[in-house]
Amino acid sequence: MKPSTRLRRGDLVEVKAPEEILQTLDGEGTLARLPFMPEMLEYCGRRYRVYRRVVKTCSYGTSSTMRAFPDDDVVILEGMRCDGTAHDGCQKACTIYWKEAWLRKVSGTEARLGADRGESNQTALRSRLKTKTGPQTYFCQAGELSHAAPELSRAQRFTKCFSEVSAGNCGSLEMVGRIATWLFWRVRRMILGPYGRGTIMATPTATLKLAPGELVQVKPMASIATSLNPRAYNRGLWFSPGMRALCGKTATVERRIEKLIVDGTGEMRQVKNTVYLEDSMCSCSHVAFGGCSRCEFNYWREIWLERPADSA
C-alpha cells in the first residue's frame, strides 16, 4: 500500500492500532520483506515526530554496502531504538524502520484514535511475528535488511544525494559537506592507506570492565594505532576515521555490548571488551557517499580507552 502523501521530517504521526498493522503484513510478519518486530508493539497508538525519511541506509554484515527500500516508504521516528527484548537481549540498539503504512499523519489537535486500541488487541498481531528462523538465526529488521533493501549501484548512490535534500533530511550545503568529507577520506585512503592502520597482524585485547555511566578517556591516536592491524581493525572491529575526533577527550560509557545480531545474516555474535560511548555515533559520511539515515553507534574496544588519572 503506497501512501498518497509522503511523510517528512518533523511530521507528527500516530502508530496505527495492532489490527490495522496486521492487515498490512504477510504470513512472515513483513511488509515488502521488512519485519514488524515484537519490540514495536509497545508504540501502537502513540504519537511521535518523524526524524527523517530513509532515502538510503548502510548495512554492515559480511560487507559494507549502501541500500535503499524500493518503495521509498520508510521513515525513522525520533528517539526510537530496538531494545532487543524479543531477540534474546540483542544489544545492538538499532534504529527502528517504520513503513508509512504502519503510521498515520495527524495534527496536534486531532483526537488519538488509536490510543485505546494500541494497548489491547495485540495477541493476533504478536502471533504473526516471528523472531527466529533457526536455532541460532534471528529474524529482525537488521537480519533481513539485505532482503528488504537492495544494494544501490554507484549511479544510484549519487542520485540519492539529491533525494536526501528534496526529502528534507538535510540542506544542500550539508550534503555538499558530506560529499566533500567522503571525497577527502577516499583520496587519503588511496594515497596513504587506511587511517590509523597499525603494523601487527594478531591484534591485542584489554579488559577494563567498564560500567555504564563511568567516565573514560579515549587514548591518543598513536596509542590506538598500536592495537590495529594494517587494515585498521582490532579483532574484526574497525576504527573508523570519524572516531578520531574523540582521541584525547573524555566521554561517558553508555552501555556495554556483549552480543548483537549481524546485518543481513541474522547471526547472533558475541562481543568482548566493547562499549558504546554517549553521543558517539557513526560518522557515515566518512565512508559512505552522502552519508545515510541509520544513526548507528560507534563500537569502542576497551583497549582504546583508559580511566582518567584522577578517577577514583
Range of the domain at 137: 12-154
Are 117 and 231 within one domain? no
Are 145 and 267 within one domain? no
Q: What's the confidence (pLDDT) of residue 11? A: 95
**Overall domain count for the chain:** 2
Are 27 and 123 within one domain? yes
DSSP 17: P
Are 148 and 219 within one domain? no
Indicate whether 238 belongs to any domain: yes
Indicate whether 301 belongs to any domain: yes
Are 257 and 128 within one domain? no
Are 26 and 124 within one domain? yes
Indicate whether 247 belongs to any domain: yes
Q: What's the confidence (pLDDT) of residue 112? A: 67
Are 134 and 59 within one domain? yes
Burial 4-24 (b: 16+ CB within 10 A, else e): eeebebebebbbbbbebbbee
Q: State the Cα–Cα distance between residues 117 and 125, nearest whole angstrom.
A: 13
Per the structure block, which three cell numbers stand in for 162?
539529491
Q: State the Cα–Cα distance between residues 114 and 59, nearest whole angstrom.
A: 33
Q: Determine how β-strand 215-218 pairs with β-strand 305-306.
A: antiparallel
Of 137, 154, 171, the last residue of a domain is 154
Indicate whether 199 belongs to any domain: no
Indicate whether 196 belongs to any domain: no
Are 150 and 283 within one domain? no
Indicate whether 197 belongs to any domain: no
Chunked into runs of 10 residues, the chain (312 residues) has average pLDDT values of: 69 96 96 97 96 90 81 94 96 96 87 55 91 92 93 92 92 95 95 95 95 97 97 94 94 95 92 95 84 89 92 55
Of 124, 154, 184, the last residue of a domain is 154
Q: What's the confidence (pLDDT) of residue 216? A: 97
Are 57 and 146 within one domain? yes
Of 128, 154, 180, the last residue of a domain is 154
Instruction: Return the half-sphere exposure (C-beta side, CA atoms, 13 A cut-off) of residue 261.
Output: 28
Are 144 and 18 within one domain? yes
Are 129 and 236 within one domain? no
Are 112 and 231 within one domain? no
Indicate whether 237 belongs to any domain: yes
Burial 177-198 (b: 16+ CB within 10 A, else e): ebbebbeebeeeeeeeebbbbb
Indicate whether 61 belongs to any domain: yes
Beta bridge partners of 279: none
